[in-house]
């Protein structure tokens, strides 16, 4: 067995076990801890194909920022464990189907995994393509051949000069726009609440002038007089 393949099998096994634990564990903190282990395994898989930069960024963003916030929030929420157990029972049937699917995917990965040439990949999918299309695909410009680019120089250089700010910059920009929409959407949803709160505060504001000018005769009246 190839040593890289063996490592990959071990990592995928860890990921699978951790996924099961995430789904089945009653305490959400255990779920998040297992999520962190999965992120670590993904980073290790990226390291096996010599993409140090991506692996470091993956850990920095997912483990260092996102999972910490999850953990922070979940720790401070008071969780009703009995309720969670009841809702978990509903999903038991789907779990069996899911496990069969995951086993199938992992089997395919184990039997078919190696870093393949582009021609082989295209040959696998050639039945879905017409001959002219597959001929077009085999002649790929060098800037799209990521694996060779990544192994030729350092991966950060390739990503900077060729992928993110080069041929694939449109996807980068689109990701930025989606992020912006997400931020604006959150502000829009909570805007009504903010405005309502502001009105409430305005109503509560102290009017010193009217308070000082208030007199006994004008404010306090006899009940009969009003009638």
**x/- string (CB under 8 A) for other proteins, residues 153-192?**
-x-x------------------------------------
Residues 160 and 156: their CA atoms lie apart, in Å, by 6
Please count the residues of this chain forming the interface with other proteins, following the rule CB under 8 A.
19
Pick from 21, 37, 45, 63 the residue near other proteins by CB under 8 A.
63
Residues 214 and 216: their CA atoms lie apart, in Å, by 7
Distances (CA, A) of 209 to 68, 206, 214, 219: 51, 9, 9, 15
Residue 37 as a binder of other proteins (CB under 8 A): the answer is: no
Pick from 16, 71, 88, 137 the residue near other proteins by CB under 8 A.
71
From the CB of 71, what's the least distance to other proteins, in Å?
A: 6
Half-sphere exposure of 206 (CA within 13 A, CB side): 3
**x/- string (CB under 8 A) for other proteins, residues 75-114?**
xx--------------------------------------
Distances (CA, A) of 133 to 47, 126, 130, 137, 142: 34, 9, 5, 6, 18
**x/- string (CB under 8 A) for other proteins, residues 40-59?**
------------xx--xx-x
Q: Which two tokens stand for residue 162?
A: 């060729």
**x/- string (CB under 8 A) for other proteins, residues 15-34?**
--------------x---x-
From the CB of 104, what's the least distance to other proteins, in Å?
A: 32
Residues 158 and 134: their CA atoms lie apart, in Å, by 27
List, in order, residues 6 or more apart from 15 with CB less than 8 Å away: 38, 41, 42
Distances (CA, A) of 119 to 114, 124, 142, 209, 224: 14, 9, 14, 84, 99
- Binding span for other proteins by CB under 8 A among 9-17, 66-74, 79-87, 137-145: 66-74
Q: Using CB under 8 A as the criterion, which residues of the chain lie in contact with other proteins when the complex forms?
A: 29, 33, 36, 52-53, 56-57, 59-60, 63-65, 68, 71-72, 75-76, 154, 156
């Amino acid at each position: 067995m190839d040593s890289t393949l063996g490592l990959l099998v071990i990592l995928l096994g860890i990921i699978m076990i951790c996924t099961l634990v995430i789904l089945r564990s009653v305490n959400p903190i255990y779920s998040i801890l297992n999520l962190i282990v999965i992120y670590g395994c993904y980073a290790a898989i990226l390291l096996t194909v010599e993409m140090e930069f991506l692996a470091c960024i993956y850990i920095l963003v997912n483990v260092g920022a996102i999972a910490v916030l999850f953990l922070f929030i979940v720790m401070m929420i008071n969780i009703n464990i009995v309720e969670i157990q009841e809702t978990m029972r509903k999903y038991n049937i789907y779990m069996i189907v899911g496990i069969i699917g995951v086993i199938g995917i992992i089997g395919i990965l184990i039997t078919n995994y190696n870093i393949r040439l582009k021609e082989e990949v295209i040959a696998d999918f050639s039945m879905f393509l017409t001959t002219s299309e597959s001929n077009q695909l085999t002649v790929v410009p060098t800037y799209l051949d990521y694996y060779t680019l990544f192994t030729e120089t350092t991966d950060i250089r390739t990503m900077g000069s060729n992928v993110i700010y080069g041929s694939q910059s449109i996807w980068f920009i689109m990701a930025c726009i989606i992020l912006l929409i997400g931020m604006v959407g959150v502000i829009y949803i909570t805007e009504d609440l903010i405005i309502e709160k502001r009105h409430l505060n305005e109503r509560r504001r102290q009017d010193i002038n009217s308070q000082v000018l208030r007199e006994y005769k004008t404010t306090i009246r006899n009940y009969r007089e009003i009638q």
